Amino acid sequence: MDSIDRNILVALQHDGAAGLAELAKVAGLSVSATAERVKRLEERGTIRGWRADLDPAAVGCPLLAWVFVALRPTTTDQKFREGLLPLEPVLECHAVSGAWSYLLKLRVASLAELEAFVAGELRRRGGVERTETILALATLKETAILPVAPADDDEE
């Protein structure tokens, strides 16, 4: 990945709806050459998908919570993962080090929905030894924009 690819990625992160003509200006290439680069970045998996950035409150899930989960020693991670990953309130699931097995990022409509998820959906699955939930009181920054490292001149 060279500096042109990186410039395209930075521009797309800030405006995923940017047209190819706009990206071509950023890249300093023709529209067709820019389109080919975007296609190659998708094929390599560097660009994983295209989404709209939605306001959580506007779509009915204003409550942000993180849930630490510790599994019982006899529980297999695979069983837990397979059951958890399809659940819509789970925005992120991270295997973590330390006293906990996983850290989940959730978005839900209310405290009642959070309670139902943690006490019902999560603990009912079995294998969960304990949980700890942390609520966000305010969100000062939330982004999916990654810091794209500068390219070395020798990179392709």
**38 plus 73 within the same structural domain:** no
Is the residue at 51 inside a domain?
Answer: no
Rounded distance between C-alpha atoms, residue 77 and residue 102, angstroms: 10
Closest-CA residue to 144 (of 19, 75, 49, 4)? 49
**Interval 13-47: pLDDT, tens:** 999 999 999 999 999 999 999 999 999 999 999 99
**71 plus 122 within the same structural domain:** yes
On the question of pLDDT at 109 being above 70, the answer is: yes
**95 plus 34 within the same structural domain:** no
Residues 87-107 as b or e (16 or more Cβ within 10 Å = b): eebbeebeeeeeebbbbbebb
**Interval 70-108: pLDDT, tens:** 999 888 888 888 888 899 999 999 999 999 999 999 999
Domain count, the chain: 2
**70 plus 130 within the same structural domain:** yes
Is the residue at 54 inside a domain?
Answer: no
Q: What is the CATH number of the domain that holds 75?
A: 3.30.70.920
Query: Where in the sequence is the domain holding 76, given as residue range(s)?
Result: 63-135
Is the residue at 110 inside a domain?
Answer: yes
**128 plus 70 within the same structural domain:** yes
Write phi, then psi, for 35 (nearest 5 degrees): -60, -40
pTM for the full predicted model: 0.84
Query: Going edge to edge, which strands form the sheet with 128-135?
Result: 90-95, 102-108, 63-71, 128-135
Q: What is the CATH number of the domain that holds 28?
A: 1.10.10.10
**125 plus 77 within the same structural domain:** yes
Is the residue at 153 inside a domain?
Answer: no
On the question of pLDDT at 153 being above 60, the answer is: no
155 pLDDT band, cuts 50/70/90, is low
